[in-house]
Structure 1
Amino acid sequence: MTNYIKDRKPADDTWTPFTGLEDVDTLPSGNIYVPFEEWNAMRDQLLTRNSGLGVSLANTDDVAQLADDLDRLDLIVLNFPKMGDGRAFTQARLLRERYGYTGEIRAVGDVLRDQIFYMHRCGFNAFEIREDQDMQSVLKAFDEMTVTYQPAVDEPLPIWRRK
């Protein structure tokens, strides 16, 4: 059973996290993502790969440091280390709204059903839900609210400016 959702549907995860990067020649083939620190250390070598490439950010990392490379990244993984820490919400909005990133933004860590709707509004389009979360229940969370008042990534106009 999968615990991965992409574009509001259960999906197979085609990405492999990779750490301990010492040489690009040791990388597996296929889609990989690396921690931000390793991205910074091996950026030029990583950009020569022909497979999908992604970066995993801690919620304390500055997304602006990726701004010049966003068109070359297929995936950005944002971490929720605990439920009460929402810095990744801001990172996702910045990536979508300020930097125009159109690739996959994935939520990992303490990803809970109650936050899915809001994560999606902020620009997340992929989610690794915790094993204790029920997939069907989480999928219903996308549609629980039908009217939103505030502007967000999914609806840039506030309700009073919509026709």
Structure 2
Amino acid sequence: MPKLIKNGELVENTWQMYTEADNDAALESGNWLLPLENYLNLQDAAHTNMENLGVLVPGDTDIGELAKIPTTAPVVAIDFPVFTDGRGFTLGRTLREHYDFTGDLRASGNYMLDQLFYLKRCGFTSFAIAEEADMQTVKDALSSFSVKYQAAIDEPQPLFRRRS
């Protein structure tokens, strides 16, 4: 199971990935990340307990599909298929800015540690990282730059506005 960095600290990863091999009865206990389609089907069926269910969003998801994710979902994990695919950055920022998602926004999949700082700027709050990743390297990557010039989720005012 990958390590989980949340708000800059190593925490226990209590969320399991749901697969087709798991049955729906298993969803009653534990915390599960369900593929977007499965999550929406359970939501439509008025599944009684959605508090322990999070959403796994593929990196190639249409932005309009994000509107279907409730702002009360505890976790939305965006999967990066390859580190060169930047659509996950857009999905994360869109969830925060346009759909007012306030829960844990998680990056998972194939991204590089060099991208952590930028993922954080887009509103990601937790990161599933490889078991062998060095914690000091991760912490350094989250604070790569001391000054942020552009506006983003973590700093809504650009530098020239903050200086005046």
TM-score norm. by structure 1 comes to 0.88
Which consecutive residues of structure 2, in runs of 5 or more, have no partner in the other structure?
Answer: none
How many residues matched? Answer: 163
Quick one: structure 1 residues 56 and 125, their matched pair in 2 at CA, closer, same or farther if it must change by over 3 Å?
same
Instruction: Identify the residue that residue 20 of structure 1 maps to in structure 2.
Output: 20
- Supply the distance in 2 between the matched residues of 1:14 and 1:139 (Cα, whole angstroms): 21
Q: Is the 8 A contact 1:111 1:127 kept in 2?
A: no
Indicate the percent of aligned positions where both proteins have the same amino acid.
39
Q: Which amino acid aligns with 1:157?
A: Q
Instruction: Identify the residue that residue 152 of structure 2 maps to in structure 1.
Output: 152
Which consecutive residues of structure 1, in runs of 5 or more, have no partner in the other structure?
Answer: none
* 1:113, distance to aligned residue in structure 2 (A): 1.5
- Supply the distance in 2 between the matched residues of 1:83 and 1:68 (Cα, whole angstroms): 26
- Supply the distance in 1 between the matched residues of 2:113 and 2:151 (Cα, whole angstroms): 22
- Supply the distance in 2 between the matched residues of 1:21 and 1:99 (Cα, whole angstroms): 32
Instruction: Identify the residue that residue 129 of structure 1 maps to in structure 2.
Output: 129
Query: What's the RMSD between the two structures over aligned residues?
Result: 2.2
The runs of at least 4 consecutive aligned structure 1 residues that moved more than 3 Å come to 21-26
- Supply the distance in 2 between the matched residues of 1:63 and 1:43 (Cα, whole angstroms): 19
Quick one: structure 1 residues 68 and 82, their matched pair in 2 at CA, closer, same or farther if it must change by over 3 Å?
closer
* 1:22, distance to aligned residue in structure 2 (A): 8.3
- Supply the distance in 2 between the matched residues of 1:48 and 1:97 (Cα, whole angstroms): 29
- Supply the distance in 1 between the matched residues of 2:48 and 2:69 (Cα, whole angstroms): 13
Encode CA deviations 1:45-71: one digit per residue, 9 max, x unaligned.
464215422110111113432425423
